[in-house]
Amino acid sequence: MYALVDCNNFYASCERVFKPYLLDKPVVILSNNDGCVIARSNEAKALGIPMGVPYFQIQGLCRQHGVHVFSSNFSLYGDMSRRVMSIIEDNWQDVAVYSIDEAFLDLKTLPLADQEPFCRALQKKILQYTGIPVSIGLGQTKTLAKLANYVAKRRLNVPVFNWLGQSRWLSQIDVGEVWGIGRKWHKALKQQGIHWASDLAALPLQSLKARFNVVLQRTALELRGIPCIGFEEREERKSILSSRSFGCMQSEQDILAQALSAHCARAYEKLRQQHALAGYLGIFIRTNPFRADLPQYAPSMGVCLPQPTDDLRELTRWAKWCLNRIYRAGFQYNKVGVHLGDLQRLNEQQLDLFNTSTPHQQQQTKRFLAVYDAINQRYGRQMIRLGAEGHAKPWAMRAAMRSPCYTTRWSDLPVVK
């Protein structure tokens, strides 16, 4: 049996931990630059505020109904996530963190009769220790654990739901709610007359594989209670993208170069976390497509790197090389981004006969990157960074409604009176 622990409305719940007056009040969290809604409390959902809607479109609705609006505070959310995951790992040995607010537990060593009481106790402990409410779904497979969590949270409003003996729910859950069924597959399945999770589970396996693919075949088996997804199995990124709109429009090439360098640093962090090398780098710059009164320009450029690399200096150099070839003066730019592709594992790197770097230079690069990473991990993200990023950051995003970093900054520690 597997259990899925999923934090309820996680970003909104993090804000409520330090602002108890928000309990039972509508709360929404905005994306970078206070652009779109990325999280909502149940009360905000009940007002009909959709996910992803631009904030300016719902400002009137928010004022009318007293909705509490916050800029995203990922430092706070990341730290609260670590606290939740730490409690889970302290109480169970087989844990696979799936996302910032989700973790799977493999309960095969725990007797069936003890699994539900254990999950109830864990749910209460997480709430008591962190203030974050969670829902827990139990199932014979990871896919069923996901569905059990869905039933607990969306249908029954209970903290824990056990799928054992509850397969009737398959005929009441839209196939689009099944883990791994995205919009594209959802549409294709509907066109084939497959509307419910039970329809997918009942399809002949060979027919499913022939009409769709082996991934959906595996999902159907999981819905039947046959485990096909490994406990630690997590798909690696095939590419990495870092991009963000500016807080205010910029026209100078030097400013765009600084912003691209910062995005290279963020993409580099993700690359190192995956223990991968990038064989391709692309950039884009663009004006604001919603400003019809301004000239429009949205070029992009990519390059296959001479040698797959995880060297931040090389990535930054090639990003600036691309910028030099596509930048045009006279435009007000609104967004830039960096894309890394052709990823390969660090330990599977193919050697290049024409690589001109010496073994000594390669060792120097490894030592530099190791020290760079160690300092930033110990003293805080971007404690040191490349000079190419600049210092003032006039392009930085807006966050006019961000709450304090209560748990990660000494000056923001809440004071008990």
pLDDT for 56 beyond 80: yes
- Which CATH architecture group holds 8-76? 3-Layer(aba) Sandwich (3.40)
What is the residue type of 30? L
For residue 102, the model assigns a pLDDT of 96
For residue 350, the model assigns a pLDDT of 60
The residues of the chain that CATH labels 3.40.1170.60 are: 8-76
pLDDT for 354 beyond 90: no
Note the pLDDT tens digit of each residue in 141-155.
999 999 999 999 999
pLDDT for 399 beyond 70: no
DSSP string, 6-69: EETTHHHHHHHHH-GGGTTS-EEEE-GGG-BEEEE-HHHHHTTPPTT-BHHHHHHHHHHHT-EE
The residues of the chain that CATH labels 3.30.70.270 are: 78-223
For residue 32, the model assigns a pLDDT of 78
pLDDT band, very low/low/confident/very high, at 394 (cuts 50, 70, 90): low
pLDDT band, very low/low/confident/very high, at 398 (cuts 50, 70, 90): low
Looking at the DSSP assignment, which residues form a beta bridge with residue 34? none
pLDDT for 24 beyond 70: yes
pLDDT for 207 beyond 90: no
The residues of the chain that CATH labels 3.30.1490.100 are: 240-354
CA–CA distance from 74 to each of 100, 339, 399 (Å)?
10, 22, 11
pLDDT for 185 beyond 90: no
Rounded Cα distance, 412 and 116, in Å: 39
Is residue 243 within 8 Å of residue 336, measured between CB atoms? yes
For residue 35, the model assigns a pLDDT of 82
pLDDT band, very low/low/confident/very high, at 357 (cuts 50, 70, 90): low
For residue 236, the model assigns a pLDDT of 64
For residue 79, the model assigns a pLDDT of 92
Note the pLDDT tens digit of each residue in 325-346.
999 999 999 999 999 999 988 7
The residue assigned the tokens 């709360």 is 27
Angle (nearest 5°) at CA 39 between 5 and 394: 125
Q: Tell me what percent of the residues of the chain surpass a pLDDT of 90.
A: 60
pLDDT for 233 beyond 60: no
Average of per-residue pLDDT across 335-361: 76
For residue 309, the model assigns a pLDDT of 92
Domain over 78-223 is classified CATH 3.30.70.270? yes
125 vs 382, residue with greater confidence:
125
Closest CA to 275 of 366, 347, 340, 374: 347
For residue 235, the model assigns a pLDDT of 61
pLDDT for 352 beyond 80: no
Token output for 170: 């398959």
Note the pLDDT tens digit of each residue in 296-329.
999 999 999 988 999 999 999 999 999 999 999 9
Burial of residue 89 (number of CB atoms within 10 Å: 0-12, 13-18, 19+): middle
- Which CATH architecture group holds 240-354? 2-Layer Sandwich (3.30)
pLDDT band, very low/low/confident/very high, at 177 (cuts 50, 70, 90): very high
Average of per-residue pLDDT across 70-74: 91
Alpha helices in 142-196 (DSSP H): 142-150, 183-191
pLDDT for 355 beyond 80: no
pLDDT for 67 beyond 80: yes
pLDDT band, very low/low/confident/very high, at 378 (cuts 50, 70, 90): confident
pLDDT band, very low/low/confident/very high, at 192 (cuts 50, 70, 90): confident
Token output for 98: 């799936």
